[in-house]
Amino acid sequence: MLTPSLSTSARDAPTVGGMANDGTLPLSWTPLIDSLDLVALPAAEAVRAGAVPSARVAPVEDHLADTAAFCEAYGVDETTTANCVIVKGRGGG
């Protein structure tokens, strides 16, 4: 099973032998609209409705889904990651 990683502006590192030049694993980014199977149904429905048209997604190995493990394996700065993407919010009341 693969876990998705979402981005609207991603690092696309060149690869050498399946690894990025900096020794980390590469992320294979594709438009989210083309990979809706990687996200939950509510997110897929929002994307189909036109929300975040520039969003991209990259499959991530499940054992690397933890933020620290993901950042180390894929060479991503923790300050540029999020564990949650909020497509639309509404306050109660």
| Residue range(s) defining the domain that contains residue 16 | 2-80
- Could you tell me which of 39, 28, 29 has the C-alpha nearest to residue 4? 39
Instruction: Check: CB of residue 39 under 8 Å from CB of residue 2.
Output: no
Residue 9 lies in a domain: yes
Domain count, the chain: 1
Residue 76 lies in a domain: yes
Residue 49 lies in a domain: yes
Provide the residue-wise pLDDT of the chain in tens; the chain has 93 residues.
445 555 544 444 444 344 454 657 888 888 999 999 988 898 899 999 998 888 888 888 888 888 888 888 888 888 887 766 555 556 666
- Could you tell me which of 4, 60, 12 has the C-alpha nearest to residue 32? 4
Is the sign of the CA dihedral 12, 7, 38, 84 positive or negative? positive
Instruction: Please state the pTM of the whole predicted model.
Output: 0.59
